[in-house]
Amino acid sequence: MKLDGRFQNYGLRSLRQDATAGLIVGIVAIPLGMAFAIASGVKPEYGLFTVIIAGICVSLFGGSRFQIGGPTGAFVPVLFAIVLQYGYENLLLAGFMAGVLLLLMGLLRLGKWIAFIPRPVTVGFTAGIAVTIFAGQIANFLGLRDLKKHEAFLPNMKELALHLGDTSGYSLLTAGICLTFILLAPRLLPGVPGSLAGLLAATAAASLFYPGHVATIGTAYGAIPNSLPAIHWPALSLDRIVELIRPALVIALLGGIESLLSAVVADGMAGTRHNSNRELIGQGIANMAAPLFGGIPATGAIARTATNIKCGAVSPLSGVIHGIVVLLVLFLLAPYASAIPLAAMAPILMVVAWNMSERRAFARLLKTGGLEAIVPAATFLLTVLMDLTTAVEAGLVLSGLIFIVRMSGAMTTVRLLPEPPGAGETATATEAETAGREPHTGRIGAVAVEGALFFGSAHRLERMLREEIDAGRDVLILDAGRVPYIDATGEACLAAALKPFAHNGGIVLVAGLPPQPSRVLARPEWERLVAPGRRFARVDEAFAYAQAWQAGAGSARGRSGEQPAARAASAVSAAAGEVEA
């Protein structure tokens, strides 16, 4: 169904379905919103503000029918690092700038390009983020207090190890109750979100049986307000924009990747089709609006989106209702949230980390071995030990290098073609070099390329062409029928080999040029080197022209760029059948 028809045939029954789905997803989002905010180093209410504002904006302006927006686990280590380095106010500005970048990406129709980030990179950094989130909640799970927070993973683990002796039995009990309900609720309480059941059970146990023995949201962050804050515009200045452009870009790219991934998952579950550029626009608007109310960066939440679909959502109105539900809960029940133990929030995030870890995909990629296993492993380690930005940059560079190696070594082949008629078997460049002889002995040299002619393979073609020239050829034929792409290095290597040959009176013929290489060789300098009359649809036509020119049967016409004599075509028909496809 088209995007503009999202509310087509919408009626009272559809409204009831959306209301039910929105209510359930809103209830699911409340503990997650607070937990993600706390894990990111900010107050829990900022997570609720994000769920409300960003969730409504994503549903109204996004490009996916069922997308639920809000704070997510993927952002936790990124936002935590920004808060530690720049502070909360600058996090708001970075989030606003990321919204502007996402909006521009959507307007410039860059949605499809984000999908080209290699899968091993996304699996690697997702697994790394999961480990970071899980490890970051161990302190709350154990009830450890007053730990010094560091940006790096290893110093945080060292800090944790030094304080293990301060573990609180009450916190362990509270976290254990919450975790038990999270794991058992799907079977014992179907239809009740596990995170909500665990949070309520653990809070009730701590409040009734051992009050004051575990840290709560109220004791750590103060009371949660029961209203949205007034609009606060971030203080913009050129110096702050320059300082925060890198974290803003990271937020925008990560938000774009996760939102589009969530939209793809939603399409697979519901049989719909999202608009990637409009989704980026919606994410941009959401991330520009949320910081005005103190909200943190948001993106598409895969688990909440899947819950929305499973609960029978019909239109984006379910996402709007989910935001309104959280707003009503904020108005009516905010004072009670102050009693939630921090130890009850930790298992929720640990389970989220486990579910998002991509552990099976990560293990499969590592089992492939060889160069391909390096990318997810390196991205994972750099995400955990350094930061997400460095990890993604390194992963992309490694993926590019491995692609170049594979392309140049396996996907692009350069080989010599036999000279018709009856010139024997085709020999590859490697075979010719090993045997120390020419694959054929005539005055016509022919080289075929299969695959992209780019900087990883172009020098091999240049070397083979020079060998043919040194062998005393009068005519060089380049069979480019299976060359989908020529880059600047490929063009330069061709020119370096062919121009001296043509200037010394040699004839250059090209056969079977696909569209992109044809455009490259349509430039004036190539028109002088390979005249239009010396470009052929098939290699057998090029051979016929070369034989006619060499035999002197109309050589004057051949030198002027006219088509070969018709009688030459039959002379090469047998040889043409020997040319590899």
For residue range 16-37, what is the model confidence (pLDDT) as tens digits? 999 999 998 998 899 999 999 9
Fill in the DSSP letter of residue 536.
Answer: E
Of 331, 363, 383, the domain-final residue:
383
pLDDT of residue 440: 41
Residue 447 to residue 465: CA distance in whole angstroms: 7
Residue 389 domain-assigned (yes or no): no
Residues sharing a CB contact under 8 Å with residue 326, sequence separation 6 or more, in sequence order: 26, 29, 30, 33, 48, 51, 52, 55
Contact 6, 315 (CB under 8 A): yes
Give the Å distances, CA to CA, from 190 to 68, 182, 185, 196, 406. Answer: 22, 11, 7, 12, 50
Burial of 532 (0-12, 13-18, 19+ CB in 10 A): exposed
- Comparing 246-250, 539-543, 555-559, the range with the smallest average pLDDT is 555-559
* Same domain, residue pair 36 and 173: yes
Give yes or no: residues 360 and 463 share one domain: no
Is 6 part of a structural domain of the chain? no
Mean pLDDT of the chain: 83
Rounded to an integer, the average pLDDT of 398-404 is 84
Range in 134-143, 309-318, 416-425, 525-534 the model is least confident about:
416-425
Residues 98/287, Cβ–Cβ less than 8 Å: yes
- Residue spans of alpha helices (H) in 7-148: 12-39, 44-61, 76-86, 88-107, 111-114, 119-136, 138-142
Q: How far apart are CA 209 and CA 7, in angstroms?
A: 50
pLDDT at 286: 97
Residue 166 lies in a domain: yes
506 and 474 Cβ atoms separated by less than 8 Å: yes
What's the DSSP call for residue 428? B
**Together in a domain, 436 and 330:** no
Q: pLDDT-derived band of residue 79, with 50, 70 and 90 as boundaries? A: very high
| Residue with tokens 């509270």, as numbered in its chain | 174
Examine residue 418 and state whether it is found in any structural domain, yes or no.
Answer: yes
pLDDT interval class at 558 (50, 70, 90)? very low
Per-residue pLDDT band at 159 (split at 50, 70, 90):
very high
pLDDT for res 389? 81
Q: Are residues 379 and 432 in the same domain?
A: no
The count of structural domains within the chain is 2
How much is the pLDDT for 303?
86
Share of the chain above pLDDT 70, in %: 88
Write down the pLDDT at residue 429: 38
> Counting beta carbons within 10 angstroms of the beta carbon of residue 430, is it exposed (0 to 12), middle (13 to 18) or buried (19 or more)?
exposed
For residue 427, what are the contacts with CB-CB under 8 A and spacing of at least 6? 415, 416, 435, 439
Residue 382 has pLDDT above 90, yes or no: yes
Summarised one tens digit per residue, pLDDT across range 484-507 is 888 888 888 888 888 888 888 888
- At 478 the three-state DSSP class reads strand
96 confidence band (pLDDT: 50, 70, 90) = very high
pLDDT at 236 over 80: yes
Among 4-13, 405-414, 419-428, 465-474, the range with the most confident prediction by mean pLDDT is 465-474
Determine the average pLDDT of the residues in 305-316.
90
Tell me, yes or no, whether 272 and 345 share the same domain: yes
- Asked if residue 134 and residue 206 are part of one domain, the reply reads yes
CATH number of the domain enclosing 438: 3.30.750.24
Let me know if residue 199 belongs to a domain.
yes
Confidence (pLDDT) at 410: 52
Domain housing 450: 412-576
Is 80 exceeded by the pLDDT of residue 535?
Answer: yes
Tokens (6 digits) for 419:
């000279």
Average pLDDT over residues 101-130: 88
Residues 449, 369, single domain; the answer is no
pLDDT score of 437: 36
Q: Among 331-335, 339-343, 522-526, 559-563, which stretch is predicted with the lowest mean pLDDT?
A: 559-563
Shared domain for 198 and 112, answered yes or no, is: yes
In the chain, how long is the greatest CA-to-CA distance? 106
Instruction: Indicate if the pLDDT at residue 426 is higher than 50.
Output: no
Higher pLDDT, 176 or 565: 176
103 vs 146, residue with greater confidence: 103
**pTM greater than the 0.75 cutoff:** no
Are residues 188 and 300 both part of a single domain? yes
- Helix 119-136 vs helix 342-356: crossing angle, to nearest 10: 160
Q: Among 81-85, 184-188, 436-440, which range has the highest average pLDDT? A: 81-85
pLDDT at 90: 95
552 pLDDT tier (thresholds 50, 70, 90): low
Rounded Cα distance between 416 and 405, Å, is: 22
Are residue 449 and residue 377 in the same domain, yes or no?
no
Does residue 521 form part of some domain?
yes
User: Is 559 a residue whose pLDDT tops 70?
Assistant: no
Q: What are 249-298's pLDDT values in tens digits? A: 999 999 998 898 888 888 888 888 889 999 999 999 999 999 999 999 99
The predicted pLDDT at position 93 comes to: 96
Tokens of 357: 């870890």
Q: Is 263:274 a contact under the CB 8 Å cutoff? A: yes
The verdict on residue 169 lying in a domain is yes
Tokens of 337: 């949230």
* HEC per residue, 143-211: CCCCCCCCCCHHHHHHHHHHCHHHCCHHHHHHHHHHHHHHHHHHHHCCCCCHHHHHHHHHHHHHHHHCC
* Collapsed DSSP state (helix, strand, coil) of residue 9: coil
Strands 413-416, 507-511: pairing is unpaired
How far is Cα of residue 10 from the mean position of the Cα atoms in its chain? 35
Same domain assignment for residues 345 and 457: no
In sequence order, which residues have a C-beta less than 8 Å from that of residue 47 and are 6 or more positions away? 32, 33, 34, 35, 36, 37, 38, 40, 71, 296
- Whether 377 and 422 map to the same domain: the answer is no
Residue 209 has pLDDT above 50, yes or no: yes
12 in a domain, yes or no?
no
What contacts 68, CB < 8 A, 6 or more positions away? 25, 29, 55, 58, 59, 300, 301, 304, 305, 307, 308, 319, 322
